[in-house]
Structure 1
Amino acid sequence: MMERQTSFIKRSLTAVGLVAAVLFNACPSEVTNVLATGQSIVLSCTRSENLTTCACKEVSAANRQVGSSTGTATLSELSNGLTVECPKTTYEFVPQESTHVCIAKESTSATLKECKATPTKNPIKDLLIQTTQTKVPEWTTTNAGGHSLILPPETFPIVDKSFFAGCLKTSSRRQRNTDV
């Protein structure tokens, strides 16, 4: 019994989180993408209360502004939601399965294309502490067309874990990754 209390105390004092990477597919080089299409992909993440929203937007090269995005979104017991918004045309959200996330394997590079095509996906529940909950967290589609994941605070793991999801360009075979 004492060992269990110690574990609980460590959990309550430690900042625990899941690091989510949001990827989008454009071209291997942003300069190449801008020159070829006149368009650039801009990634913007904002946090409000317990939800982080990351939007991948195509903008003209002339309107592109250099931002100070950190490249990661950290989910924690206090900020337990993530929404990913993809451009409505020529992009699709990956992973396609609502109860999965993409996991980077140490021996391979992590891309959305690989996640979509191969078994580099893991059930969301495998990242979390198993509880007696009956409903497993899953991606839902928002009214704006984004994909949201909200994790119950009591299910967060004791150690940090990471996953990725994002927007895959359907009309291109190349990908440029950006962490959120």
Structure 2
Amino acid sequence: MQIREALKTDLNDVLAIERLAFGYDKEANLVGELLRDPSAKPLLSLLAFKKDRAVGHILFTAARLSGTKDAVSIVILAPLAIVPDTQQQGIGGKLIRHGLSLLSGSKVDLVFVLGHPDYYPRFGFAPAGCLGFDAPYPIPEEHANAWMVQALRPGVIGGVSGKVVCADALNKPEHWRE
């Protein structure tokens, strides 16, 4: 398997992966919007290939933390998509780890995700709300553990808190319902 940054010429593959993985167009449309959204940049878009076939995609977009005076660099992981016939093969985990490694080298401090609370903790994510980080839109109490964060720099968590403000394309309540 190979992972590399997605190119502009990969857009059709990226959107096809999103459609296949989720079974509808909502995530594909969101990804298309985020890739065009200046407020989402800088962003990191990665593709996973098995042989010459694109089978997975992950997107990290810029965000900011309101309510803090400290300069902190944050991103949101959304979405992660794997085509159905290659799921359960570790591709998602490899995309997450590769993305986190690249982001760590680019001086990103915090990575947030709204996702399955049994999946993302395997990669170092922990519930964010109880650590002082509010989601862009309220998360119902029964899904509070789905809003997660991972620090890529020691000492950041506990030193800052506030509400995450995401890219304009992602800043819609329908994207924040788990």
TM normalised by structure 2 equals 0.27
Higher normalized contact order (CA 8 Å, seq sep 6+, divided by chain length): 1
Give 1 or 2: higher strand fraction: 1
TM normalised by structure 1 equals 0.27
**Whose radius of gyration is greater, 1 or 2?**
1
